Structure 1
Amino acid sequence: MFSIQVDSINELGDAAQQLLKAFPNERIFAFYGKMGAGKTTFIKTICRTLGSKDNITSPTFALVNEYNTDSDSSIFHFDFYRIKNSEEAMDIGFDDYVFSGNYCFMEWPEKIEELLPSDIVEVTIEEVTPNSRLIRANKI
């Protein structure tokens, strides 16, 4: 189990490094948290840590964004907040992304729970104070 409290946005880089170090062989991360908890901000920081210089934004309407890294690998960032059903995820080629071997970071994975592979890292972000977050992760 991974757990870290960050008390400012400036500490997210260290938290991202520690999360990736805690799960070095994992590529599929499901992010849980309330609206405004910081899921997108943390994913952006993780992508930067992995070497992406792309413009990283929440794919709220596109469902998935692809970012490139310095090592020419891809990172896939999903946002299922607006999805109506799991068929929409399948229509964008969800399985192809998830089983590509590349990093996949998912916001609002509870919307497609039945499609999630059994071997993922669940990351939960909880607001402690307006500027502090408790980030916990566990491989399921």
Structure 2
Amino acid sequence: MEITFSLNEIDNVAELIIASRPNKVMLFNGEMGAGKTTFIKQLCKTLGVTEATSSPTFSLVNEYETTDNQIVYHFDFYRLKKETEALDMGVDDYLYSGNWCFIEWAENIASLIPESHSTVTIEVLEDGKRLLKID
């Protein structure tokens, strides 16, 4: 699926993505500043997270609970130097928990990603809109 959207349409796009029933482990690709974190924040809101969400750049993972008691994990592995750092934090427990796992910079833990996952790529277009591709 490919969707071109402006930032004021992000809530509708997040609803479309959740309605498409992606795998709960979702990898987010795109350049720095493409809007990965912004889109993940909207996905959290769409799923029913009511608390403030933020980038886990320094903590590596943030955990949120939805209004219907689902758990959402948001990972940012940008600062990771080795996959063993992710193993040390127990990443396998998160990835195979059956909960939502939104992962930025997943290429830094490539061999640890479950076979069953969805990949979202966000690209900034010349007009400022975003092109989102999901597979």
TM-score by length of 2: 0.96
1:11 match: secondary structure: helix
Corresponding residue number in structure 2 for 1:119: 116
Kindly provide the amino acid, as one letter, of the partner of residue 3 in structure 2.
I
Deviates more, 1:122-131 or 1:101-110: 122-131
Q: How many residues align?
A: 135
- Give the 3-state SS of the residue equivalent to 2:94 in structure 1: helix
Aligned match of 1:3: 2
- Aligned equivalent of 2:48: 51
What is the CA distance between 1:129 and its match in structure 2? Answer: 2.8
Q: Distance in 1 between matches of 2:34 and 2:119?
A: 15
Counterpart AA for 1:4 = I
The one-letter code sitting in structure 2 at the alignment partner of 1:122 is T
Deviation at 1:130, TM superposition (A): 5.6
Q: Which of residues 13, 16, 19 in structure 2 aligns to 1:15? A: 13
SS in 2 for 1:129: coil
When the two chains are superposed, the root-mean-square deviation of aligned CA atoms in Å is 1.0
Q: Determine whether 1:61 maps to 2:58.
A: yes
CA offsets per residue over residues 57-101 of structure 1, 9 Å max, x none?
Answer: 110011000011101121000000001110111111101111111
- Structure 1 window deviating more from structure 2 (53-62 vs 29-38): it is 53-62
Offset of 1:131 from its aligned partner? Answer: 2.6
Counterpart amino acid of 2:123?
A: E
C-alpha separation between the residues in 2 aligned to 1:63 and 1:25?
23
Offset at residue 25 of structure 1 (A) = 5.5
Paired with 1:86 and 1:51, the residues of 2 have a C-alpha distance of 31
- Paired with 1:63 and 1:79, the residues of 2 have a C-alpha distance of 5
